[in-house]
Amino acid sequence: MAKNGKKNTTAKSKNVATGETHSALLELFTDEIKDIYWAEKHLTKALPKMKKAANSPELQDAFATHLEQTKGHVERLEQVFELLDKKPQAKKCDAMEGLVKEGEGIIEDTDDGTATRDVGLILAAQKVEHYEIAT
Ligand SMILES: [Fe+2]
Ligand SMILES: [Fe+2]
Q: Is 90 exposed, middle or buried (0-12, 13-18, 19+ CB in 10 A)?
A: middle
Residue 66's pLDDT is what? Answer: 97
> 17 vs 113, which has greater pLDDT?
113
CB atoms closer than 10 angstroms to residue 99: 22
Q: Which of 5-9, 63-67, 111-115 is the least confident region? A: 5-9
Q: Is a pLDDT exceeding 70 seen at residue 13?
A: no
For residue 6, name the pLDDT band (cuts at 50, 70, 90).
Answer: very low
Half-sphere exposure of 134 (CA within 13 A, CB side): 10
pLDDT tens across 19-58, in order?
A: 655 689 999 999 999 999 999 999 999 999 999 999 999 9
The pTM of the full predicted model, rounded to 2 decimals, is: 0.82
Residue 19's pLDDT is what? Answer: 61
Residue 23's pLDDT is what? Answer: 87
Neighbours of ion ligand 2 (CB under 5 A): 132
CA of 74 to the centre of ligand 2 (A): 10
Q: Is a pLDDT exceeding 50 seen at residue 2?
A: no
CA of 86 to the centre of ligand 2 (A): 24
pLDDT tens across 84-104, in order?
A: 999 999 999 999 999 999 999
Residue 117's pLDDT is what? Answer: 98
pLDDT tens across 63-87, in order?
A: 999 999 999 999 999 999 999 999 9
CA of 24 to the centre of ligand 2 (A): 28
Separation CA 79–CA 82 (nearest Å): 5
